[in-house]
Amino acid sequence: MLSKLPLAVQTFGLLTLSNLFMTFAWYGHLKHQAGKTWWMAAFASWGIALFEYLLQVPANRIGYAGGYSLAQLKIAQEVITLAVFVPFAVFFMDQPLKLDYLWAGFCLLGAVYFIFRG
């Protein structure tokens, strides 16, 4: 089923899903396990990160085999990271929405331009 989707949807869709898991693995413990020891939070995060890797590794392999360069995959991952992180920070972690996120996004769009231009 996945192979019938366009390359960009396969690659960047899987990277987006993987980033959801990784964002929760990296930062979710700050909200839900604040009273736990660091190593308990680390083991919980490690368990969540396993699912991230089960999506991220195929995403990068599909994208690379399909013609995306290593740099394109990395920069795309950074854009996805910010796109996932901002809603996570605002809605899940109750952080204020800052204009700085917009400026960071513009910087990343510049990186996308330079990496993806032919």
Q: What is the pLDDT of residues 41-76, one digit of tens each?
A: 899 899 999 999 999 999 999 999 999 999 999 999
d(C-alpha 40, C-alpha 117), whole Å:
44
- pTM (2 d.p.): 0.88
d(C-alpha 113, C-alpha 36), whole Å:
43
Q: What is the pLDDT of residues 10-32, one digit of tens each?
A: 999 999 999 999 999 999 989 88
Q: What percent of the chain has pLDDT over 90?
A: 86
Q: Which amino acid is at 22?
A: M
33 pLDDT above the threshold of 90: no
N-term to C-term CA, the chain: 30
Q: What percent of the chain has pLDDT over 70?
A: 99
